[in-house]
Amino acid sequence: MFIITRMSARSMASKTPVGFIGLGNMGSPMAKNLLKNGYPVIATDVFPESRKELQELGAQVVDSPAEVAEKADRIITMLPSSPNVIEVYTGPNGILKKVKKGTLLIDSSTIDPAVSKEMAVAAEKMGAVFMDAPVSGGVGAASMAKLTFMVGGVEEEYNAAQELLTCMGANVVYCGQVGTGQAAKICNNMLLAIGMIGTAETMNLGIRLGLDPKLLAKILNMSSGRCWSSDTYNPVPGVMEGVPSANNYQGGFGTTLMAKDLGLAQNTATNTKTPIPLGSLAHQIYRVMCSRGYANKDFSSVFQFLREEEGQ
């Protein structure tokens, strides 16, 4: 059920081309890792400048998703949001216009699992197979092939997907039927957001009550308040090194991105009639932060958002 592997050596000779659509901050280093692993890559992107860099590294660049589908029977997509995915798969020049029977389609975008399911149905009608495989990890992890992929789709196709994904990531986790990759990512990020805001407000309260922040973090981390945000990514400046809070909340995972993922959590929860009181409030807090100047800071900056002293 839980398969984590790392690619071993392969010979260039045996490799058939892989299509790659979406050469942004994440997609570009991912496609490069396919090249490094000896896969011929057929790529496209709406922005010509994004295509150019990959072309210079040896990828064949074409004009549309449909053309990619004509030339490759394994295609990876990495796009910003649901509407882009719908366009790239089902639009007038979309993959499904030209897809060959038996093609394996892997979408690494983070989108609503309901859209993943729709794409899977549409792909199946054309005789193709669609899997969702969103990633955990940022641009750095993408460059170093250290991403984690959470994969949903037909189990028989999982091995084929895994072969490609291990070129780009350190962990590949099979989650179940199509859409469950998205579900796993959304769930993790929702709990992460709750833990982060909870840690921020708890640390702030403790400091105001006279506790030393490092000592408080130690106590929490040896107790039942422990969480990833308290022990690995503490939001209070001075408590840990090498985390965004030690660097004025630069880098890391931006508040805007967290707000986007919480929006997906909210939508899926609403659509499945699932109450998520804390996830919902976390969403609202990150939404307000985006409009108060925190959009591009790391999401641990919620500590800063909550702590400032009242003026006088």
Give me the phi and psi of 132, to 5 degrees please: -100, 140
**Closer of 58 and 83 to its own copies (Cβ):** 83
Find, among 291, 288, 285, 199, the residue nearest to 243 by Cα. 199
Residues 6+ apart with CB under 8 A from 49: none
- Tokens encoding 240: 């840990």
CB 207 within 8 A of CB 216: yes
What part of residues 24-83 is at the interface with its own copies (CB under 8 A)?
A: none
Find, among 309, 305, 248, the residue nearest to 282 by Cα. 305
Stretch that binds its own copies, among 12-20, 89-97, 155-163, 195-203 (CB under 8 A): 195-203
CB 151 within 8 A of CB 173: yes
| 185 part of the active site | yes
What part of residues 219-258 is at the interface with its own copies (CB under 8 A)?
A: 219-220, 222-230, 232-233, 256
Stretch that binds its own copies, among 18-26, 93-101, 208-216, 234-242 (CB under 8 A): 208-216
**Closer of 78 and 135 to its own copies (Cβ):** 135
Residues 112, 118, 120, 126, CA torsion sign: negative
* 140 burial via Cβ count (<10 Å: 0-12, 13-18, 19+): exposed
**Closer of 40 and 176 to its own copies (Cβ):** 176
Stretch that binds its own copies, among 53-61, 87-95, 161-169, 204-212 (CB under 8 A): 204-212
Residues 6+ apart with CB under 8 A from 251: 244, 298
User: Residue from 84, 110, 189, 234 that binds its own copies (CB under 8 A)?
Assistant: 189
Task: State the nearest-atom distance from the C-beta of 306 to its own copies, in Å.
Answer: 5
**Closer of 113 and 244 to its own copies (Cβ):** 113
208 touches its own copies by CB under 8 A: yes
CB 159 within 8 A of CB 140: no
Given 117, 185, 214, 260, which residue is catalytic?
A: 185
Q: Residue 149 pairs with which residues in a beta bridge?
A: 135, 172
What part of residues 280-309 is at the interface with its own copies (CB under 8 A)?
A: 280-285, 287-288, 290-293, 295-296, 305-309
16 touches its own copies by CB under 8 A: no
Instruction: Give CA 207 to chain center in angstroms.
Output: 34
Contact letters for its own copies, residues 133-172 (x by CB under 8 A): ---x-----------x-x--------------------x-
What part of residues 257-276 is at the interface with its own copies (CB under 8 A)?
A: 259, 263, 265-276
CA gap 130, 201 in Å, rounded:
42
Task: State the nearest-atom distance from the C-beta of 188 to its own copies, in Å.
Answer: 4
Stretch that binds its own copies, among 36-44, 50-58, 70-78, 218-226 (CB under 8 A): 218-226
Task: State the nearest-atom distance from the C-beta of 51 to its own copies, in Å.
Answer: 24
Task: State the nearest-atom distance from the C-beta of 65 to its own copies, in Å.
Answer: 22
CA gap 114, 283 in Å, rounded:
20
Q: Residue 44 pairs with which residues in a beta bridge?
A: 21
CA gap 100, 91 in Å, rounded:
16
**Closer of 103 and 245 to its own copies (Cβ):** 245
92 touches its own copies by CB under 8 A: no
Q: Which sequence positions are flagged as catalytic?
A: 185
